[in-house]
């Protein structure tokens, strides 16, 4: 959009971005609280503030629902896709507060909890901005805001060398990836003349007939650069090298958080750029994504087999789950030519639902690791020996999460995988191969998840647990475990329908380009 006269520029509609503003306000309040409140009250006050803040932001999401309107001159879009992704991100942040408070406050030499919450809030804000971005620039700003805070969070347990090492690797590879991503964006701008996602998509779609910019090598280069940059952010193979070290090094609740929120932000960016903007080029990127998906899930699952460090194992499993989610992207049907049917796109809605399910079960698994660390156990497989006889409830909760990660009914992980397979099989032969890949590798993954269950249940306890009380963490784990089980049948369908309905929102602008030019 070209504006000649700045005075006619419409004013932004602030009310459309209420949830984002709430999180922004939360971050500012946390900063102030960290600076001015007495240190002894930080834990109580700031934790409460965070919980209330994320809760309010989630409530505020409902003001965005059904709006489908842009603001800030199309930099920001309050559409359904953004709402669902924001829901996942805010939920994950809320849960992270529950499961991290005592860890940050007590373990690893008492980390400053005020700073922790501030970084968490800014990172959340960044992810939220990506989720609702309408412009490449906004996507980049959001990703950077989310990533920079996450780099610091990774190094938060700074007394441990592995934390600093992991953060350093993450940081260096991350900024490298950002550079590649922004370079790709620049090429897209060069080819289409805009950074606005809808304008790009419109330009590409209308280029079909007359000119042939779709086949332009420069566009293909742009596509490749963007995919590489985003691949880094979502930890797809072969751009995953930072993942195990960063997950292993970071404080446990941070690892859980990293596996969900930055990943959600990366998938949000991917959906926005590939599906929304480069949708007309779907033929070019779909097979690329399909191959990456297959390689990612195979590599993640197979390497996870040999891990004896539980956090590292979950890091590789996280890579594998990225692969599963990419299947949803690879089989997203009906993108080219804007002819999505009224029921929404199965591929994208299954990806969205998987993200939701993954957030719940993976945060749960990391929460149990943190819980166990509170009791003086380590993070190696052997440290879990006989957990079921000394701490039966923790072992039961961990089993629920692992079973869900395996994708066994009646858990939420199964329903998510089921919908993914359903979407894949509908997409023809490529989808069938991907579906078979998912099930075979799920069987492989059962081995390493099950090994942890076996260690907890079948071995004799080697350590006596340290007595300690973690009420907030207990509430978090119990809530997640119940959600994992009930999510498999009770509210799986309503949530999925929500994802389905909201995945439809992508098309809104594509259909009415006239309003725009």
Partner 1 sequence: MNGFPLLSVMAFLPLVGALLIFFLPKASQGFPKMVALISALGSLVLSIVMVIQFDPNAPFDANNAVPFQEKIEWANGIGISYFLGVDGIAVPLIVLTTAISVIAIIWSWDTVKMRQREYFIALLLLETGMLGVFVSLDLFIFYIFWEIMLIPMALLIGIWGSTNRVYAAMKFFIYTLLGSLLMLIGIVATYQTYFQETGERTLNVLRLQEGNYSPTFQFWVFAAFFIAFAVKVPLFPFHTWLPDAHVEAPTAASVILAAVMLKMGGYGLLRFNLPMFEEGTRQWAPIIIGLSVIAILYGAFVALVQPDMKKLVAYSSVSHMAFVTLGIFLLSLQGLEGAMMVMLAHGFNTGALFLLIGVVYERAHTRQISAFGGLASRIPAWAAYFTLFMFASIGLPGLSGFVGEFLVAIATWHYNPWLALFTFAVVIFAAWYMMWMFQRVVFGRARGEIPDPHDNALTPEEVEMLAAAGDDGHGGHGSHAMPLPVSGGSHDAHDAHGDDPLDSSKWHDLSKKEAITLFPLAVATIVFGIYPAPIMRIVEPAFQRLLALYN
Q: How far is the CB of 419 from partner 1 (least distance, A)?
A: 8
Q: How far is the CB of 428 from partner 1 (least distance, A)?
A: 10
Pair 315, 248: CB distance under 8 Å = yes
Q: How far is the CB of 365 from partner 1 (least distance, A)?
A: 16
- Decide if residue 497 touches partner 1 (CB under 8 A): yes
Pair 278, 200: CB distance under 8 Å = yes
Q: Contact with partner 1 (CB under 8 A): which of 55, 409, 465, 479?
A: 409
Q: Contact with partner 1 (CB under 8 A): which of 67, 169, 321, 451?
A: 451
- Decide if residue 187 touches partner 1 (CB under 8 A): no
Residue 133 backbone phi and psi in degrees, to 5: -75, 150
Q: Which is nearer to partner 1, 168 or 436 (CB)?
A: 436
Residue with tokens 């081995």: 447
Task: Give alpha helix (H) positions in 37-109.
Answer: 42-64, 80-106
Q: Contact with partner 1 (CB under 8 A): which of 450, 472, 485, 486?
A: 450
Residue with tokens 């990703």: 143
Q: How far is the CB of 350 from partner 1 (least distance, A)?
A: 11
Pair 394, 466: CB distance under 8 Å = no
- Decide if residue 388 touches partner 1 (CB under 8 A): yes
Pair 14, 72: CB distance under 8 Å = no
Q: Contact with partner 1 (CB under 8 A): which of 214, 457, 461, 479?
A: 457
Rounded CA separation 257/156 (Å) = 13
Q: Contact with partner 1 (CB under 8 A): which of 45, 51, 436, 486?
A: 436
Please work out, in degrees rounded to the nearest 5, the angle formed at the alpha carbon of residue 240 by the alpha carbons of 438 and 266: 80
Beta bridge pairs of residue 70: 77
Q: Contact with partner 1 (CB under 8 A): which of 52, 454, 475, 512?
A: 454
Query: Could you give the count of Cα atoms lying within 13 Å of 102 in the half-sphere of its Cβ?
Result: 19
Q: Which is nearer to partner 1, 221 or 436 (CB)?
A: 436
Rounded CA separation 349/170 (Å) = 30
Q: How far is the CB of 401 from partner 1 (least distance, A)?
A: 13
Q: Which is nearer to partner 1, 187 or 496 (CB)?
A: 496
Q: Which is nearer to partner 1, 272 or 419 (CB)?
A: 419
The tokens for 348 are 């994208």
Rounded CA separation 73/64 (Å) = 17
Residues near partner 1 (CB under 8 A):
343, 388-389, 392, 399, 403, 406, 408-410, 414, 418, 421-422, 425-426, 432, 435-436, 439-440, 442-443, 446-447, 450-451, 454, 457-458, 488-489, 493, 497, 500
């Amino acid at each position: 959009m070209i504006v000649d006269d700045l005075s006619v520029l419409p004013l932004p509609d602030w009310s459309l971005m209420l949830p984002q503003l709430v999180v922004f306000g939360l971050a500012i309040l946390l900063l102030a609280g960290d600076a001015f409140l007495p240190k002894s009250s930080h834990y109580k006050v700031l934790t409460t503030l965070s919980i209330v803040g994320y809760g309010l932001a989630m409530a505020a999401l409902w003001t965005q629902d059904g709006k489908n309107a842009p603001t800030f001159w199309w930099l920001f879009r309050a559409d359904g896709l953004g709402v669902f992704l924001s829901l996942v991100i805010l939920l994950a942040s809320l849960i992270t507060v529950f499961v991290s408070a005592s860890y940050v406050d007590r373990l690893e030499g008492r980390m400053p909890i005020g700073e922790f919450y501030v970084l968490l809030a800014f990172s959340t804000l960044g992810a939220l901005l990506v989720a609702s971005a309408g412009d490449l620039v906004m996507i980049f700003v959001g990703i950077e805001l989310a990533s920079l805070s996450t780099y610091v969070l990774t190094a938060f347990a700074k007394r441990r060398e592995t934390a600093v090492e992991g953060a350093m690797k993450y940081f260096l590879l991350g900024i490298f990836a950002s550079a590649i991503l922004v370079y790709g964006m620049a090429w897209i701008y060069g080819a289409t003349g805009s950074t606005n996602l809808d304008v790009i998509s419109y330009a590409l779609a209308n280029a079909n007939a007359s000119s042939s910019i779709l086949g332009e090598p420069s566009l293909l280069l742009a596509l490749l650069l963007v995919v590489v940059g985003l691949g880094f952010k979502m930890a797809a193979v072969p751009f995953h090298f930072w993942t195990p070290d960063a997950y292993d090094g970071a404080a446990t609740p941070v690892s859980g958080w990293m596996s969900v929120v930055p990943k959600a932000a990366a998938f949000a960016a991917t959906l926005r750029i590939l599906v929304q903007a480069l949708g007309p080029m779907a033929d070019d990127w779909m097979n690329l994504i399909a191959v990456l998906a297959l390689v990612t899930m195979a590599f993640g699952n197979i390497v996870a087999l040999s891990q004896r460090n539980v956090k590292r194992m979950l890091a590789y499993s996280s890579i594998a789950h990225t692969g599963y989610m990419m299947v949803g992207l690879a089989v997203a049907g009906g993108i080219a030519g804007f002819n999505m049917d009224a029921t929404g796109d199965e591929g994208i809605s299954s990806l969205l639902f998987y993200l939701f399910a993954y957030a719940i079960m993976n945060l749960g698994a990391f929460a149990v690791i943190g819980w166990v660390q509170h009791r003086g156990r380590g993070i190696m497989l052997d440290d879990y020996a006989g957990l079921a006889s000394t701490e039966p409830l923790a072992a039961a909760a961990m089993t629920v999460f692992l079973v869900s990660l395996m994708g066994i009914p009646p858990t939420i992980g199964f329903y998510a995988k089921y919908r993914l397979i359903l979407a894949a099989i509908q997409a023809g032969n490529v989808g069938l191969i991907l579906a078979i890949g998912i099930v075979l590798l799920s069987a492989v993954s059962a081995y390493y998840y099950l090994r942890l269950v076996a260690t907890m249940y079948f071995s004799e306890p080697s350590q006596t647990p340290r007595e300690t009380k973690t009420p907030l963490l207990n509430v978090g784990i119990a809530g997640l475990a119940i959600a994992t089980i009930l999510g498999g049948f009770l509210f799986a369908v309503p949530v999925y329908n929500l994802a389905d309905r909201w995945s439809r929102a992508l098309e809104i602008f594509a259909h009415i380009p006239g309003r725009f030019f």
